[in-house]
Amino acid sequence: MGSNLALQAVDKGLNVVGKARSKKPELSQKGVKVVSDYKVFADFLEPPRVIFLSLPAGSTIDVVIKDLLPFIEKGDVIIDGGNSYYKDSIVREAELSKNGIYFVDCGTSGGVTGARNGACFMVGGKPEAIKLCESILKLLAVNGGYLHCGEPGSGHFVKLVHNGIEFGMLQAIGEGVELLRHGDFSLNLKEIFRVWSHGSVIRSWLVELMEKGLNEVADLSLVPDFVEDTGEVNWLVQEAIEKEIPLPVTTQAVMELFKSRRKQSDAARAIAIMRHGFGGHPYGKDDYIAKERKTSRIHPV
Pairing of strands 17-19, 33-35: parallel
Query: Could you state, in order of their start, the residue ranges of all structural domains in the chain?
Result: 2-151, 158-295
Percentage of the chain with pLDDT > 70? 100
Which residues are catalytic, by number? 159, 166
Distance CA 33, CA 44 (A): 9
Q: Rounded to an integer, what is the distance from CA 196 to the centroid of its chain?
A: 26
Backbone torsions φ then ψ of 177, nearest 5 degrees = -60, -45
Distance CA 288, CA 284 (A): 12
CATH domain 158-295 topology: N-(1-d-carboxylethyl)-l-norvaline Dehydrogenase; domain 2 (1.10.1040)
Distance CA 83, CA 246 (A): 23
Closest CA to 50 of 117, 139, 112, 115: 139
pLDDT, tens digit, for every residue of 81-104?
999 999 999 999 999 999 999 999
Amino acid identity for residue 166 in this structure? E
154-181 helix and 189-196 helix, angle to the nearest 10 degrees:
140
- What is the value of pTM for the model shown? 0.87
Distance CA 230, CA 233 (A): 8
In the chain, the largest separation of any two C-alpha atoms, in whole Å, equals 67
pLDDT in tens, the chain (301 residues): 999 999 999 999 999 999 988 888 999 999 999 999 999 999 999 999 999 999 999 999 999 999 999 999 999 999 999 999 999 999 999 999 999 999 999 999 999 999 999 999 999 999 999 999 999 999 999 999 999 999 999 999 999 999 999 999 999 999 999 999 999 999 999 999 999 999 999 999 999 999 999 999 989 999 988 888 888 999 999 999 999 999 999 999 999 888 888 777 888 899 989 988 988 888 888 888 888 877 888 887 6
Convert 83-122 to b/e letters by CB count within 10 Å (16 or more is b): bbbbbbbbbbbeebeeeebbbbbbbbbbbbbbbbebbbbb
Closest CA to 111 of 164, 183, 163: 163
**Rg from Cα positions in the chain:** 20
Cα dihedral sign, 8-11-16-18:
positive
pLDDT, tens digit, for every residue of 126-137?
999 999 999 999
Is domain 2-151 annotated with CATH 3.40.50.720? yes
Distance CA 201, CA 216 (A): 25
Mean pLDDT score of the chain:
94
